[in-house]
Amino acid sequence: MHTHHSYKASDLIVPQPTRIEDREGSFRLHPRIAIAAEKGFEEVHRFALELFGCKAGGEDILFKYQPDMQQEAYILTISKVQIVIKASTDEGAFRGLSTVRKLALLSGNQLPCCKVEDQPEFVWRGFMIDCSRHQFTPKFLKKLIDVASLFHLNRFHWHLTDDQGWRIPLDGWPKLESIASKRKELNYSDGRTYGRLYSKEEILDVQEYAHKRHIVVVPEIETPGHASALLAAYPEFGCTGGPYETQDRWGIFDEVMCAGSDEVIDFLSDAISQIAELFSDPYIHIGGDECPHTAWEECPRCQARMKQQGLTDARFLQSWMTSKVCEMVHKAGKRPIGWDEVLEGTEQLGLPKDLIVMSWRGLEGGLEASRRGHEVIMCPNTAGCYFDYKHQDSEEEMGNLGVSTLRQVAGFSCTPDSMDAQTRANVLGSQGNLWTEKVTTSRQAEYLLFPRLMLLAQQLWKKEDAEKLLQKRPILIKLCDMLDIACYRGE
């Protein structure tokens, strides 16, 4: 990489910081420099030593404690002789280190002098990858987590169960591995299968890797729809008793968990208890999307459940199920998140107030949830947050179902100007979602994610003018090249 003396720090940093002052000169990063840290920054100190291959001791790079700063805030000063990162938490210090790392990658280790004061606008800045439809290796997931952390993202939503495969290991449920984790590949006539469970060791390894980069891991278990894989393994959990199969087709299927089955409730209680033990972060995503109620309307057990609960319509069973699953999540010491369909069929029973609603079908679900007092994550497929969509409307372009242009992502706001202050206060942030029906390899996933995820990261850290942000596209592509990421290079 050639040195770029002409670049200022403000030209290179994405997300653009809250405040940045360009200064004369540069600091040369090389293996002979030493890194020191004040008490409390041991973890980020170790990470920096490993990252730059430097030694501990001297204060060429210094992590310094500064009281009364926000959780993720940092102050970065790069002079010709020293780099100082001030923060009040290890997390803030790590964000500062990530900014240094980006500058080092882009400047050939000749970092332009500057002073940066920085902190995020939104607490929830994430990405979701669907590992049910196509399963990605822990090695690749760690690569994505590392790049996400470089852009100050702090949530990894791990979609682990769906119609096409169950990926979470649970003690006492052996058919999840033998049946639910595998699907017959219908494109072949020789009976070959696709998929497996992740091992507990793999999940813990990915989680530890994320935590070192201050990223929270959010596992998702789909309830009560998108359950074909689970029903194939345990047909007694369905309304008809089967036969069911782990799907090798894409879409929405009428076979869902039986809302009248006590066995389903027992299974979910045990599953959520085990998931809560395996995943140490505060959240469990309970799904809730795209659940047809057809089977419930015909099922004697579901009808009996409705009578027992005094429900007058089968669709009200959705909110009954949601409330039951939320109870399990609470009992396990976690907080539930659900897709915006959890708002439907709630006229009789309502919803637990601490359920976070993830609005994907436009902004409307989020607005409604916020009006009802729920905290909200805005990730509308209509406004650029679905990264399985094509980059542009072209037959030559890979992608599925829709179009999500760079310009659309760069202009995204999860709190648009039309939103009132009370609604805005309930918006935690957003995330980019990658569904993988048509994404079979890690290189395809990279191409669809980048640089869109980088643009979204900017708007979640600090809102930026879309045109100004799009001018950073060459910088983002260069970073992708430095990080060995296949990215979209068009406009």
21 given a catalytic annotation: no
Catalytically annotated residue among 60, 118, 130, 162: 162
Catalytically annotated residue among 38, 121, 205, 290: 290
What is the residue whose two structure tokens read 């882009």?
A: 106
290 given a catalytic annotation: yes
Catalytically annotated residue among 152, 157, 214, 226: 226
226 given a catalytic annotation: yes
The catalytic residue positions are 162, 226, 290
